[in-house]
Structure 1
Amino acid sequence: MEFIVFRKITALTFLGLALVAGACSDDNGNGPGKNAFVRVVHASPDAPSVDVLVDDQVVLSDVQYQEFSGYLTVPKGMHNIKVNVAGGGATVIDADVDLAAGEYYTAIASNLAASITPLVLVDDLKAPPAGNAKVRLVHGAPSAGLVDIYVTAPGADISTLNPNVANFGFQDETGYIDLPVGTYQVQVTLAGTKTVAIDTGALPLPAGFIATAIAVEAPGGGAPYAALLMEDTKN
């Protein structure tokens, strides 16, 4: 079965107005080299829709499970990020993060609602070598346990193959992997078995393509599992 999900959302208009001003150079250090960039992902399968606040300012509202934002421009330095139940409900994540100038980050609301935590990744948007794409894989399915990952030509029989990544645990990430331009099939199995939990089907990777794929659960939790594919590109 093929499960690829694309559910990108946009930030509230006023956020862009509030933070674009910080991209204009001035004597107070608010030049373009003084900003960081943060993308937010809702990957908690049994959590309700949420609002995201940066320094107590709402920047995303009513974000549903498996939705993600583009990169939000935030001044460098320490910031408080809260994730609240949408509409002014309880705070489920309250974390301070130190954002470096010029860096890109993906902040994932991860795990089941009772144990929800922020998983913050540093993104690498530098172009891959000529003739290549690069892809990062993230395990975001808490109930799946350890998994193996196979990256093959479409239709390849994995029954006699060793996994490209073995015993991949929840909240693990591979880092970016360079892959020659072509069409691939990614299959995720329960560790030590050939029982396929996620199958992307044929997945074309053009030159210069950069992406992060997160293994996620069905709404509410558990199977069927899916791959949430996000292109890692500047807005």
Structure 2
Amino acid sequence: MYANNKYNQRQMPMGYVRVIHTVPGAPNVDVYANDKKIVSNLAYGKYTDYLSIPEGKYKISLYPAGKKDSPILSDMLTVNNDSVMTIAALGNPDDIELCSIADANETRKPDKAMIRFIHLSPNAPAVDITLPDGTVLFNNVPFAHLTNYIDVMPMNYTLQVRVAGTDNVVLTVPNVKPEANKFYSVYAIGLVGDTPALQALFVQDGR
């Protein structure tokens, strides 16, 4: 991990990056930034804490865990001072991409929770995210897209993932409990009608 030294953290402009692995069927991965390992043995469906990384440009490479013969993929990432982002590995094992997602980047509403949806299920159609009574929170979100944050009351929700424009519920997500003055993302990952099954990750955003 970068910048464990408190003195360096005070002196250097820092950004904050976490990594999430959402590629069904792909192996656990090690993640390197400019050939320095920053994440070890990250499994499908798991994500890291935010890592403090000095401002700059980085080549981010994914390798099968414990190996460094040839990367699964490499891509460039710019880390800016005080930026907060998630790097998502997404797609299928034979077609993996890296996507950088800015986190907690909108104005917070006092005493409300901020929540958004990110569609990372590679074989799922565009979906609506609704409440059980049919209220639509996010509509017609296709694979590899994310919504803006919306503000909601801090309470216990049951969310439904429906095929866009229909009443066909493909996933029910109970006990979603956002807290006031915090940001959250709901990630849809996995596969429809296959293994690993479609599931949702409810993740707090921001430091």
Above 0.5 in TM-score? yes
The answer to whether the aligner puts 1:105 opposite 2:91 as a matched pair is no
> RMSD over aligned Cα, in angstroms?
2.3
Instruction: Work out the percentage of aligned pairs sharing the same amino acid.
Output: 25
The structure whose RCO (Cα within 8 Å, separation 6+) is larger is 1
Partner Cα distance (2:192, 2:3) in 1: 33
Residue from 169, 172, 185 that aligns with 1:199: 172
Cα offset for 1:183? 2.3
8 Å CA contact 2:104, 2:206 repeated in 1: no
Partner Cα distance (2:192, 2:23) in 1: 9
- The residue correspondences of 1:1-235 to structure 2 (distance < 5 A) are 15=1, 18=4, 20-25=6-11, 30=12, 34-89=13-68, 90-124=70-104, 128-150=108-130, 152=131, 156-158=132-134, 163-217=136-190, 224-234=197-207
Per the alignment, residue 11 of structure 1 pairs with none
Partner Cα distance (1:94, 1:101) in 2: 23
Per the alignment, residue 10 of structure 1 pairs with none
Per the alignment, residue 9 of structure 1 pairs with none
Cα offset for 1:207? 1.3
Q: Which amino acid aligns with 2:199?
A: A
Range with bigger deviation, 86-95 or 54-63: 86-95
Whose helix fraction is larger, Structure 1's or Structure 2's?
A: 1
SS of residue matched to 2:162: strand
- Inter-CA distance 115–53: structure 2 relative to 1 (3 Å threshold): same
SS of residue matched to 2:202: strand
8 Å CA contact 1:138, 1:172 repeated in 2: yes
Partner Cα distance (1:20, 1:190) in 2: 48
Partner Cα distance (2:142, 2:37) in 1: 32
Partner Cα distance (2:37, 2:193) in 1: 25
Partner Cα distance (2:21, 2:196) in 1: 17
Partner Cα distance (1:20, 1:93) in 2: 32
SS of residue matched to 1:101: coil
8 Å CA contact 1:52, 1:60 repeated in 2: yes
Cα offset for 1:124? 1.6
Report how many aligned residue pairs link the two structures. Answer: 206
- Inter-CA distance 63–185: structure 2 relative to 1 (3 Å threshold): same
SS of residue matched to 2:94: helix
TM-score (structure 1 length as normaliser) = 0.80
8 Å CA contact 2:3, 2:9 repeated in 1: no
8 Å CA contact 1:81, 1:94 repeated in 2: yes
Range with bigger deviation, 75-84 or 185-194: 185-194
Residue ranges of structure 2 left out of the alignment (5+ in a row)? none
Cα offset for 1:223? 6.4
Partner Cα distance (1:42, 1:147) in 2: 21
1:96-125 per-position Cα deviation (integer Å, ceiling 9, x unaligned):
111111110100001111110001111126
Cα offset for 1:140? 0.4
SS of residue matched to 1:51: strand
Residue ranges of structure 1 left out of the alignment (5+ in a row)? 1-14
- Inter-CA distance 216–19: structure 2 relative to 1 (3 Å threshold): farther
Partner Cα distance (1:56, 1:77) in 2: 14
